[in-house]
Structure 1
Amino acid sequence: MTQTRFDDGDEDDVPEWADRVIADVAREVRRRRKEMKWTAQKLADRCEEIGYPIPRNVIANMESGRRAVLPLVEVMVLAKALYTHPIHLIYPVGYVEEVQKLPLTYPVDTADAMRWFADLDQTFTAGPANHSMLHDHLAHREALAEALTALKGEASQREVAAQAADDTERAQALRAQADFAEQAARAKYQLRRVRREIYAEGGFLPDLPTTLTDVDPDEGYERNTV
């Protein structure tokens, strides 16, 4: 299903590009629905189960090219209903050879367009982002998980030490407890650093569990003013 070429710079291409994007999504919805041996009504029922009804006739009109618009929210719900990801409906790699990333541009390989859309590198892993806030929030999630794991390990080894049958077992548990405490301290430091950067750039600070309320300084963080 290769998109046809066009005259680069033709202003009339803008609506045509939008129509092509919608058509690619519609074809992939139909292909995947057929692959799952679902009727349009089955897909409509699945959308309703998710909590965002898309009637059978709307799905049928979309698949047959009789819909002029396709809201983003419907793409998201259809993807969930079809047990796939929205990006695979927009860029059906392997089923559409080429797509236009934007209007007034030449078609490119569908996989290349997908990489551009999702900010991925050539191996389909996260690229060097220009989106520092996204990276900060991902780093926050990682540091939070490390801190919680370390605190859980520290508490567990503290209990082992308290119930140890002899000095050797107690000493081993205390050493393990100290190791977990050191890991927790490093993770807390990383959390504090990331939270400072997030706040400085105007972002919201994710909530912390009560076991980590000591991460944020009493005086709070400062916003960048430049």
Structure 2
Amino acid sequence: MARLPAPLPYQTQVAIFSRLRDANPAPVTELQHQNPYQLLVAVALSAQSTDAGVNRATEDLFDRIHTPQQMLELGQDGLTEAIKTIGLFRQKAQNVIRMSQILVDDYGGQVPSSRAALMSLPGVGRKTANVILNCVFGQPAQAVDTHIFRVCNRTRIAPGRDVDEVERGIEDNIPAEFQQNAHHWLILHGRYICQARRPRCPICPINDLCPYEEKTA
């Protein structure tokens, strides 16, 4: 098995995240929501779908549905119809209804604050749980998606063979002062600058600090 490249030195990490922070001091998720429950639903729906696509599907839904109980009253058929424009909508609707029932029965309709409890919910994996822990409960949890995986390997911020290694690399290598917002900065950087097919290197704010060899002109 090929050895992973070493992560960037500490001072380079500080320089990179200082620039990302200067450009966006208070980053937030692009998934539209009005409360923790809606964010949990939105993140669960976002698997293999874009945030923009989820937002279009939930715009009207979230005007009507604010709680797990209201979701149960809407029912699986009503939810399926509301989210039919996103991928895997039937399975996702089933998961959200089951999840909502558990939240009502076991958590008083509230979103739990532990990773184990979140990951026990239907349709909630580690990435979804980490988004909730970070965005709702202020924990420096790192939700690694395809954008973050790509950026961390290209830049050597946190090289890893899989998302778990990258998550550990972020926790181990990114300075503590940037941990809370690291995954927001990284996902936005991957979404809008360090794109998969053709990274926008000429406008990248960390171009001179990035060791990626195949920079675009």
Q: TM-score range by the shorter chain?
A: under 0.3
Compute the TM-score of the two structures, normalised by the length of structure 1. Answer: 0.25
Compute the TM-score of the two structures, normalised by the length of structure 2. Answer: 0.26
Higher-Rg member (1/2): 1
Asked which structure has the greater RCO (Cα within 8 Å, sep 6+), the reply is 2
